[in-house]
Amino acid sequence: MSALILVTGGTGLVGQAIKYVIETEPEGSRFGKKPGEKWIFASSSEGDLRDAEQTKKLFEKYKPTHVIHLAALVGGLFKNMKYKATFLRDNTLINDNVLHTSHLTGVTKLISCLSTCVYPDKVEYPLDETKIHLGLPHESNFGYAHAKRMVDIANHAYKDQFGSNFTSAIPTNVFGPHDNFDLEDAHVIPALLHKCYLSKKNGTPFIVGGTGKPLRQFIYSRDLAKLFIWQLREYDDVEPIIFSVGEDEEVSIKQVTDAIVKAMDFKGEYTFDTTKADGQFRKPASNKKLLSLIGDFQFTPFEKALDETVKWFLENYDTART
Ligand code: NDP
């Protein structure tokens, strides 16, 4: 069977991980390329998805039968707080254009990407797939959060009105090769990794913000990639699925730092700047639904995934987003 799979946001952290998995897993295997499949990893230079005409042209060019929609304006806390209207508007436009063009051009399956950080601020933990809309998101990222939540609403609306096969995935914190390592705007792992690299190189102190105690669930981008490929082929339901390691696999920021220090072979001391805010202590998400569907999935051990990320960062420092 022939299929043209268009990955929007194909040049980013998650898109590049899907490309890696598709290109390195044995052909015909569960996560490898299947006969008749063609994969396209689109960047914003091929079409700005905030623009309806450019979105239409991209779809006319490739004629996708399947879409994994990852393109988004993504950023850390600071950027989310500063540019709320931009996060709301850009992501709303991108999502509306991709979903509606998929509908108009008869795409047979569309998976979009939400995030556990769009959940309500005040919610009973662990997070699960039923709690996305049960309260307001944290005020720091409400632009991004509301735009993302609307994808789930739209998926249901398109299914009810047109019978569309649209669904979504909800990853926890992602890390891996091709991440954004910009010191001002990166998520916690790439930011710490880059800081540690500079401390080692310049002999300067390595200072970690906060107490190191908060716990988080991290998913390796190449594991997440396999789950997207599985979802594309084997899951046909509008309801989203949380893509995460188990609640018993939370790691503390101190554990993350120790693993980075080890992987970087950093010999100096590091300290915690406890005057910096920690954020929430835990925000556990349940992966019960995921495991009920693909219970044999093997997550990469955290330290191995971090080693691979560090290796990639060191080899690609000159071209990485720093
Ligand atoms: P990246 O920032 O690494 O990549 C973003 C991608 O979106 C890039 O390929 C970029 O293209 C593309 N893009 C951005 N704006 C536009 C636009 N206007 N038109 C077309 N393409 C655009 O993001 P991630 O890979 O980290 O994120 C992928 C998805 O996963 C997103 O939907 C995000 O919300 C979600 N997510 C991410 C998490 C994380 O921890 N990173 C956690 C949970 C969910 P280009 O580079 O060519 O400009």
Compute the distance from residue 242 Cα to the ligand 1 centre, in Å.
Answer: 18
Whose C-alpha lies nearest to ligand 1, atom 32?
70
What ranges do the domains of the chain cover? 3-175+217-247+284-301
Please report the pLDDT score of residue 68 as a whole number: 98
Task: Give the nearest ligand 1 atom to 178 CA.
Answer: 3
Percent of the chain with pLDDT over 90: 92
Does ligand 1 lie within 6 Å of residue 174's CB atom?
yes
Phi-psi region of 161 (alpha: psi -120 to 50; beta: other; left: phi over 0): alpha
Q: Give catalytic status of residue 197 as yes or no.
A: no
3 φ/ψ angles, rounded to the nearest 5 degrees: -145, 140
Could you report the predicted ipTM of this complex, rounded to two decimals?
0.99
Q: Report whether 169 contacts 219 (CB < 8 A).
A: no
**DSSP string covering 215-260:** EE-EEEHHHHHHHHHHHHHH---SS-EEE---GGG-EEHHHHHHHH
Q: CA-CA distance, 229 to 5, in Å (whole number)?
A: 10
- What is the model's pLDDT at position 11? 97
pLDDT tens figures, 278-301: 888 899 999 999 999 999 999 999
Q: For residue 141, give both structure tokens.
A: 């990222």
Q: Taking the model in full, what pTM does it have? A: 0.97
Q: What is the CA radius of gyration of the chain?
A: 19
Look at residues 91, 82, 132, 108 and name the one whose alpha carbon lies nearest to residue 9. Answer: 91
Residue 243 has pLDDT above 80, yes or no: yes
Give the DSSP letter string of 109-172: EEEEE--GGGSBSS-PSSB-TT-TTSSPBPGGGHHHHHHHHHHHHHHHHHHHHH---EEEEEE-
Q: Is the pLDDT of residue 313 over 80?
A: yes
pLDDT tens sequence across 199-231: 999 999 999 999 999 999 999 999 999 999 999
Q: What is the pLDDT, as a whole number, of residue 217?
A: 97
Q: Would you place residue 45 in the very low, low, confident or very high pLDDT band (cuts 50, 70, 90)?
A: very high
**168: its two tokens:** 């979504």
Instruction: Report the pLDDT averaged over residues 28-47.
Output: 96
CB 25 within 8 A of CB 32: yes
- Checking if the pLDDT of 1 tops 80, the result is no
Q: Mean pLDDT lowest for which of 140-149, 167-176, 181-190?
A: 181-190
Distance of alpha carbon 58 from alpha carbon 151, whole angstroms: 20
Strand partners, 8: 69
Q: Does residue 77 have a pLDDT over 90?
A: no
CATH number of 3-175+217-247+284-301: 3.40.50.720
Stretch 151-157: mean pLDDT: 98
For residue 313, report the distance from its CA to the centre of ligand 1, in Å: 18
